[in-house]
Homo-oligomer: A and B are copies of this chain.
Amino acid sequence: MSSEGEVRRALGAIVLPAFGRCVSSLNLIRAVRLSDSGVELQMAAVAMNEPEQHALKTRIVKELKKLPGIDKVELTFVPGRPSELNEISHVVAVMSGKGGVGKSLVSGLIAIGLKRKGYSVGILDADITGPSIPRMFGLTQKPSACAEGLFPVLSASGIAVMSVNLLLGNEGDAVIWRGPLIGKAIKQFWEEVFWGKLDYLIVDLPPGTADAPLTVIQSLPLNGIVIVSTPQELASMIVRKAISMAQQAHSRILGVVENMSYLYLGDIDRKIAVFGPSRGAELARDAGAPLLAQIPIDPNLAALCDSGHIEDCQLDAVKKLALVADLLEK
């Protein structure tokens, strides 16, 4: 006789080709009831028409009958909405009052670091008017959709991504929306996207302390915020505004990341403080949080981001940024 766990594992491993994700990652199993001779299942039928349901059922029955003691499989499809199916353990927002300091880069590198540690990870690109994530990860396909919601697009290493740029006809198209619409889009990316089961959802915020960060802080169950800055004093002055906003909202600041810390010229072994001396430690002190990483200016990194191969990044910072997982356990 098989246990419920064995049934769930066998069922969960079945991959749905349309989404490139398995049943368990999409969190489609709604109920498993074992009886003497078999199993009764309820499964969410998201974005599946009847022939697709039928085909999936055939595969499931075949797989489960391989298990000892399972002779009969009764499978019922039930409707499923993202709000019922999503199980996201941790939500981390990446924020900075200042634009162009590398929030998207840091969001991407945190996600990559966590993924390399074996976690399931998603990125919600909340930068509605200036979304950079799809380009960095080389994503151009349109998200699948059904009446209940949208499916994230998967990166090469399996990071689930949702971004307004995946929905536009042309990535250079402008999204000319006022604040309330932007807030609505972010809420939809949270409520109407089939994220499924995720250990970590990284939210890449736009610059400023206006609608988008406000919406994220007020509507998403944030577990922590990572602050990004650069050495320039002018930048750190504006980043302090983001820290002040996070503190006013009683959000937990997990750590500070300094981007563009220095330029390293390997051939003459020289470090150049292009934007002035580091202010990361000082900013971390003000934020009451550790300095997680200092990322150098690196033409290779810029090229990886431009060409959609950020997942090939071998910088030390990737490992350091994955420490947010440990910080969240504290």
Interface residues of A (CB under 8 A from B): 97-101, 128-132, 135-136, 171-180, 182-183, 206-211, 214, 230, 232-235, 237-238, 240-245, 248, 263, 265, 268, 272-276, 297, 299, 302-303, 305-306
Contacts and interface: CB of A to CB of B under 8 A. Distances in A.
A263 B171 CA distance: 29
A272 to B, nearest CB: 7
11 contacts: A99-B100, A100-B101, A172-B243, A174-B209, A174-B248, A176-B209, A179-B211, A233-B306, A234-B306, A272-B299, A276-B302
A131 to B, nearest CB: 8
A238 B207 contact: no
Given A97-B129, A172-B244, A176-B214, 19 more contacts: A98-B130, A99-B101, A100-B100, A100-B207, A132-B234, A132-B238, A135-B237, A172-B237, A172-B243, A174-B248, A176-B209, A178-B179, A178-B210, A210-B211, A232-B305, A233-B306, A274-B302, A275-B302, A276-B306
A237 B238 CA distance: 25
The 6 closest A-B pairs by CB, nearest first: A99-B99, A100-B100, A179-B179, A172-B240, A129-B208, A233-B306
B208 A130 contact: yes
